[in-house]
Amino acid sequence: MKTDILIVGGGPAGILAGQTAKGIDPELKITMVKDEPGIIIRCSEPYVIGGEVKLNDIIHSDDEMIGSKGITVLVDRVTGIDYKRKTAWTRNNREISFDRLILATGAKPFIPRIQGNKLKNVFTLRNAEDTKNLKRVSDKAENAVIIGGGAIGVEVGSLLRKKGLNVTIVEIASQLLAGAYDEEFSQKVELVLREKGINVLLGRGVSAIKGEKNVEEVLIEGERIPADFVVISAGVRADTELAEEIGCRIGRFGIKIDKYCRTSLSDVYACGDCAQSLSFITKKPVPSQLATTAVLEGKIAGANAAGKREEFPRIVNPSVTAFFDSAIGRVGLTEKQARDEGIPYVVGYGKSLNKYPSQREAEFIENKLVFEKETKRLIGAQVFGGKEGIDERIDLLSLAIHKGVRIEDLCHFSHCAHPELSPLPFTEPIVLAAEDALNRI
């Protein structure tokens, strides 16, 4: 078969690339090859494992988001591409010739070399099959060990604990959510998890996973932790297999792309978890395996493959993580990252209730803002508190970073107030943190 645009991969990057290209030029023949039937919302997988939502509720039909948009969907796997002949082959012996190619192949979980990592009941979490298996096994289990204290480890750990399991999270770094938060903010997460009864082991490596056939225990530097199953959540690696095969340049975090999401090969684009993003602040490559980055890059890749010339503004990596009744969010650089980059900076802190004190359900919300000292521009933020008010603030601060907002702008920004919905008018934590930073300059 022949197609104008071939998209490999049907996650958010591939879907948005296809929808955008079709929206720009409805005459284009677009074909998507995806090896997972249906579209799973990966962010919701932990909630299925925790028993809070059903697997069916987080899987959408291919037709709903792709087929109905006039895109041909093939549930199959691209096994090889001849770039010079612009032809791809699939597992089911299809031959597809294309004019332009969009690689949206996503990422694969990273599995550290640990003795016993192939035992039954050792899982990673990426797709519907993993989710189904983890739900089934955890429903009958008592003890879970999670290797890796990143966002997925924290979320899965808290949901398993809520389900009544004994949970240990072991993290080789000295803090949870390392790389995303400064230690003082990670410690707030650690405190909540410990208070809820999760055994958090930091700065400790797993020596081996032990068992006959099934997992029975995990050895952590001499200590034995009983385990009915193990979840390895040690990060992901970009899936660059096809890109490497056809000769695309590959960077440390994925396929190298420019601001138009073009790879080093003409007529070949890449987007989402498989591609290497550049930081808006440092202009350097950064890992950004987030659905929101995939969506943005997918739109840019799709638009440009359809003949437009749209630029991706580079990323600030806004993300939020929820656990028990708390949430934490971040965007831009942490203080440590600013220091490591050699950027002179000033920080400010703000803390207040997220509603008027008269509201019974009011909870504390606290934030830390990082500003570049010379320009006074916002370059990073971390927010922690109850579940309300974290994501909105991270989104606002994300836009603020992209728009070059300075300390004074945040000291004087005009915001709304309402007893049920916001802090008191004079206690908005973003304003308090900006004022604090101004005082420290």
CB of 322 to ligand FAD, least distance (A): 8
Binding span for ligand FAD by CB under 6 A among 105-113, 133-141, 162-170, 174-182: 105-113
- Is 273 a binder of ligand FAD (CB under 6 A)? yes
Q: Which of positions 359-378 make contact with ligand FAD (CB under 6 A)?
A: none
Residue 53 per-residue DSSP state: S
Would you call 415 exposed, middle or buried from its count of C-beta atoms within 10 A (0-12, 13-18, 19+)?
exposed
CB contact at 8 A, 198 and 161: yes
Query: Any contact of residue 211 with ligand FAD (CB under 6 A)?
Result: no
43-46 contacts, C-beta under 8 A, 24 or more apart: 43/291, 45/125, 45/130, 45/131, 46/125, 46/152, 46/155, 46/156, 46/159
* Selected range binding ligand FAD among 35-43, 177-185, 414-422, 431-439, rule: CB under 6 A: 35-43
Binding mask 42-71 for ligand FAD (x = CB under 6 A): xx-xx-------------------------
Show the tokens assigned to 119: 């035992």
Three-class secondary structure assignment of 137-195: HHHCCCEEEEECCCHHHHHHHHHHHHCCCEEEEEECCCCCCCCCCCHHHHHHHHHHHHH
Tokens representing residue 353 in the block = 């209730």
11 binds ligand FAD (CB under 6 A): yes
Q: 80, 73, 32, 68: which is closest to 302 by C-alpha?
A: 32
The count of chain residues that interact with ligand FAD, using the rule CB under 6 A, is 34
Q: How far is the CB of 104 from ligand FAD (least distance, A)?
A: 5
Closer residue to ligand FAD (CB): 8 or 434:
8
One of 171, 239, 366, 436 touching ligand FAD (CB under 6 A): 239
What values do phi and psi take at 107, rounded to 5? -140, 165
Is 271 among the residues known to form the active site?
A: no
Q: Convert residues 312-331 into a mask of x (bound to ligand FAD by CB under 6 A) and - (unbound).
A: -------x------------
**Taking the complex as a whole, how short is the minimal distance between the CB of residue 36 and ligand FAD, in angstroms?**
4
- Using CB under 6 A, list all residues that contact ligand FAD: 8-14, 33-36, 42-43, 45-46, 77-78, 104-107, 125-126, 152, 239, 242, 272-273, 289-292, 294, 319
Q: Looking at the annotation, which residues are catalytic?
A: 43
